[in-house]
Structure 1
Amino acid sequence: MIETLAVLLVVFVGVFTQSLAGFGSALVAMALLPGLIGVQAATPLVAILALTTEVSLLYHYRLALNLSAIRTAAAASIAGIPLGIWALRGIPEGIFLAGLGVVLVGYALYGFLKLKLPALQSAAWGYGFGFLAGLLGGAYNTSGPPIVIYASCRGWAPAEFKSNLQGFFIINSTLVVLSHLLVQNMTPTVWRLYLWSLPVLALGILLGTRLDARIPHETFRKLVLGLLLLMGLRLVIQAFTG
């Protein structure tokens, strides 16, 4: 019971984060859930929870959606997802966790340093970023970092940024969930935790969208980045120390 409550708390924090920032639910959840329920259960659970969250948020931001802006990235992600799913099944858990930790630390440092990224005029760049997002999404449910960097380089307005990200994530997450179904990763335990998580998922979306205009985004962004940095470092240390 304590384990289930801990899972629900992690789900709430992740969904609340995505409702405010437009992304981050999987980053937060994948930093903590593997330690609670194991990688094999956490990965498909986060995938289906992410898909549910993204559909809800896309409806909220639907008027700003620009499908043509994410077409190339979404197409390329299709090729990366199966490779990521294969990596989940074929790579030892210690190496998997170390890789996830590196992704989290790298993204947190990118956010803290506020690196000035070049403007990408051509949508063709979406193929490279989309493939990497699909690879990370299939393996770690962390398709966010590559596509967030791509969105920043494309200079999308805030509303379009959030809406386009949800559109991309829905395509990505749908394929990831289908892949998990095909390889039978969606176990009864995963479905049970998913059903238990739905009420807190709804609460996280409700509070996040309501508080979106009230909480300073820069303050919240730094808090999330700090947590991701600490959690990423913990995963890397844990992977190498056992």
Structure 2
Amino acid sequence: MSFSIEIPWLFLFIACFAGYFQTVTGFGLGMIVLGLAGGFGIVPLTSAVVVVSLMTMVNCAFALPGRLQHVYWPAVAATLLGLVPTIIVGVLLLNYLSDSASSIVHVLLGMVIVYGGVALLLKPRIQEEVARPASFTVFGGLSGFLGGLFEIAGPPLIYHYYRQPLNANYIRHTLLLLFAVSSGVRTLFVVGQGQMNMEILLLTAWAFPVVVAGTFLGRNYPPPLSAQTLRRLVFILLILIGVSLIASGLLD
């Protein structure tokens, strides 16, 4: 894989924006980078997924220190019980489809991004009591599969956690921790399969400083928008990305 001078800069801009957005909202880095950079051919999709895993870990490493007291620990173990094993299933499926059915990969990615956009806009009904551990395991399993497939572990966990009668600050930091673990497990599995190459490491090296910059900006300079306005703007962006990917996959 070779890059023209324009490709790294465009990729870096996307990575910076995604890092900012993830820090402000608690999720979204994977959907933005994969949808724009991987889905539209700026970089190969399988490489972009690995880079997103590493970027997510960097984002969380800068967003979480000093804030672990805001993590809702009682639900973490139950979530990871479902999350970790299904990550491997998702990685293996992506490897298979990338070799045999790339158009299906684009359609699936578009569908996941559209689902993520819709889930972002909808406001879950808050339950009266915190759900049982088994439910966190089930939703962790769904998120692990999507995380292994596209490094988009967010939508199922976001939906489930925001239904809980918990402080929003606790939910956001718990999600950041879970996404960091998900990305770490996926990265270790990819390394174990020998899929980590110099091209991916080069992309990641370019991405690290801009993700850090985006994280810093998001942590210290959040947008002067209401939460509902921000959700609507991002919904429109994700729907446009997702529908474009679905259309391109179906027309291939």
Shorter-normalised TM-score: what interval?
over 0.9
Matched, 1:109 2:137: no
Counterpart in the other structure of 2:86 = 80
Matched, 1:138 2:154: no
- Supply the AA of the counterpart residue of 1:109: V
Q: Deviations over 1:119-143 (max 9, x none)?
A: 6521210111001111100110000
The percentage of aligned residue pairs carrying the same residue is: 21
Farther-moved stretch of structure 1 (226-235 vs 176-185): 176-185
Counterpart in the other structure of 1:37 = 43
- Supply the AA of the counterpart residue of 1:236: I
- Supply the AA of the counterpart residue of 1:12: C
Q: Structure 2 vs 1, CA of residues 60 and 200 (structure 1 numbering), >3 Å: closer, same or farther?
A: farther
Task: Give the 3-state SS of the residue equivalent to 1:72 in structure 2.
Answer: helix
Counterpart in the other structure of 2:12 = 8
Residues 136, 142 of structure 1: 8 Å contact kept: yes
Counterpart in the other structure of 1:27 = 31
Cα distance in 2 for residues equivalent to 1:114 and 1:217: 11
Residues 79, 139 of structure 2: 8 Å contact kept: yes
Cα distance in 1 for residues equivalent to 2:119 and 2:71: 26
Cα distance in 1 for residues equivalent to 2:127 and 2:102: 36
Task: Give the 3-state SS of the residue equivalent to 1:124 in structure 2.
Answer: helix
The answer to which structure has the higher helix fraction is 1
TM-score by length of 1: 0.94
Cα distance in 2 for residues equivalent to 1:106 and 1:88: 18
Displacement after TM superposition at 1:54 (Å): 1.4
Pick from 212, 216, 224: which aligns with 2:222?
Answer: 212
Cα distance in 2 for residues equivalent to 1:213 and 1:8: 20
Displacement after TM superposition at 1:109 (Å): 2.0
Residues 119, 159 of structure 2: 8 Å contact kept: no
Cα distance in 1 for residues equivalent to 2:71 and 2:126: 23
Counterpart in the other structure of 1:231 = 241
- Supply the AA of the counterpart residue of 2:214: G
Cα distance in 2 for residues equivalent to 1:115 and 1:171: 25
Matched, 1:56 2:66: no
Q: CA RMSD in A?
A: 1.6
Displacement after TM superposition at 1:33 (Å): 1.6
Residues 124, 163 of structure 2: 8 Å contact kept: no
Pick from 154, 157, 169: which aligns with 2:179?
Answer: 169
Question: When the two structures are aligned, how many residues end up with a matched partner?
Answer: 242
Residues 39, 93 of structure 1: 8 Å contact kept: no
Pick from 169, 191, 194: which aligns with 1:159?
Answer: 169
Structure 2 unaligned blocks of 5 or more: none
- Supply the AA of the counterpart residue of 2:36: L
Structure 1 unaligned blocks of 5 or more: none
Cα distance in 2 for residues equivalent to 1:58 and 1:75: 22
Which aligned segments of 4 or more residues in structure 1 are displaced greater than 4 angstroms?
Answer: 117-120
Counterpart in the other structure of 1:18 = 22
Cα distance in 2 for residues equivalent to 1:213 and 1:44: 29
- Supply the AA of the counterpart residue of 2:182: N
Residues 67, 167 of structure 1: 8 Å contact kept: no
- Supply the AA of the counterpart residue of 1:17: F
